[in-house]
Amino acid sequence: MSPPAGLLPWPSPSTTRLAPPTPTRPPPRTTRVRSPRLLLLPLTLAFAFLPLRLLRRHHRLASSPPRQNQPPPPSLCHPSLPPLRLRRPPASIASTSGSTCSGCTHEVDLDKPPVLQEVANFFKGHGVGDFTFSRGRLSQWRCRAKLAVRGTPENPLIGLYQEGTHVVTDIPECRAHHPSINAAVKLLRQGISELNIQPFDEDAGTGELRYVQMAVTTYNTSIPVDKRYEQGRVQVSLVWNSRDERSTNAEKLTLLIEFLWRNGGPKSNFHLIHSIWANFQTSASNIIFGHKWRHLKGERDLWERYGGVDISLDPCSFGQANTLSFNSLLHKLNKYVPRGSTVVDLYSGAGVIGLSVAASRKCRSVKCVEINKQSKMSFEKSASRLPANLGCSITWHNTDASVEPAHWLEGSSVVIVDPPRKGLHPSVISALQKVALSEHKAYKAKSSLAKVKDEKRPWILRAREAAVHVDDTTTEESSETWPETLIYISCGWESFKKDCKSLISSKAWQLENAHAFNFFPGTDSIEILAIFKRESEAGRKKKKKAKKKAK
């Protein structure tokens, strides 16, 4: 088989064989009759001296010093990428071409983010003795990338903006990217040049291709588990500068899609592309995606395995870039969910965390709350693959968790929050504080007063109804139940510190456990999994009595 156009050739076994010597002189024109013994004499002598030659060659190789930094043979998975020769991180994690981009803030000690010591000291100062840090994979970890497309057809730039600017830095061989993404970017660059696709010009608002999103799926049950990650395939989403597929420049979009599918699809020499989508965006703002999506080639559903559950993610759905570290976080999270819990998952997205908790068979009910209505379809598809007879009622609600958050906390014993980088909404913080500090009956009376206002806002009542109800198992959720456990997942350290101090300063919650994960090696970002416990009223009375006795 030959590789796609523009990629390096496959390693061939024939390159290791010794070619027969070519004659230095042309054969004589006259024909002479020679004796058979004379004909066999040169061949006999050659075989006689062959052992001696091989012995000398073996002695020379054994006595010579080993070569330094000898590269391994090219990978059969992605022949377009140079092999990683070093165990330690390369000089620049961003690119082997020497260019730098805003994706990485430091190049050494990738397993020790600069903020790690501050994080460890913070939790130690708040009484967390078993704080742990998971370093994860340090290269080829990013399975989801959004890249800007600028430059010219002859020299397209596909990469990230330089910090504080809209100048795109080309990153053709990013060490953080999964190898499949780098191979797909190289194929896209070739298609842009060959088909004369015009990259987007922000100043003039002209051009055809604005951005591209690459998402890797390692879900492939036809190959061994240990081979699935390195042989991941790419879902390509092209952000086209037009209103829809009927625009004047849609013909070039069709040509580009056919080029990618012909050279990277299932009928190509190397199956790299999982599917191709188009997103249409004409806005002059910095928003990457428009509202119109079209599935054009390949499988419609991109499946991945998270927390023991098959998850379907549309290109418009949020997905974690570091799938390996995210799975480690889910495995750790499930240990802190008590058996028999009633769980509410705020900021749930496509419901990955909630479905993973439901699949653990430890819960009586799981409610997922998400504001993005486009995540509903992904949740439905993922829930359809859950194991049968979980004994758990699972619902998904399309609403804003910051509006009347007390409604979602009521009847739940565990609340899971995974907010955006800016942290929890003040209304959610306030509701969590009141839950922990108020008497159950008193707080129930306050929350019931809001129902009078709901009658004037019917959209809140509709939002509280389950948009998706997976299991018919009926569970009796007592309105007297309030969260005893708060599981906080954070991608923004500064916002987490602020929220954490708000929760523990009023003695509403106690910080019991904390773990950190290296989701973005090469940056100062760190993912936090923190476990808070609410002290019961009986426990607080016991402490007061103990203090009085001590006095």
Reported as type and span, the H/E element at residue 145 is strand 144-151
Overall residue count recorded for the chain in this entry:
551
Helix axes 493-505, 116-125, angle to 10 degrees: 10
Candidates 233, 234, 225, 215; CA nearest to 143 is: 215
320 among the known binding-site residues?
yes
In eight-state DSSP terms, residue 234 is E
Residue 491 catalytic? yes
- Calpha distance 173→170 (Å, rounded): 9
Residue type, 69: N
β-pair partners for 159: 148, 170
Query: Is 197 exposed, middle or buried, given 0-12, 13-18 or 19+ CB atoms closer than 10 A?
Result: buried
> Residue 296 has which token pair?
């054009």
418 among the known binding-site residues?
yes
Radius of gyration (C-alpha) of the chain in whole angstroms: 30
- Calpha distance 435→412 (Å, rounded): 11
Q: Which of 104, 392, 491, 500 is catalytic?
A: 491
* H helices, E strands: number in the chain: 14, 18
Residue type, 140: Q
347 among the known binding-site residues?
yes
Query: Which residue do the tokens 């504001």 mark?
Result: 371
- Calpha distance 10→272 (Å, rounded): 15
The number of beta carbons lying within 10 Å of the beta carbon of residue 148 is 23
68 among the known binding-site residues?
no
> Residue 75 has which token pair?
């990978």
> Residue 543 has which token pair?
């402490």
Q: Binding site residues for S-adenosyl-L-methionine, as ranges? A: 320, 347, 370, 418
Positions marked catalytic: 491
Q: Binding site residues, as ranges? A: 320, 347, 370, 418
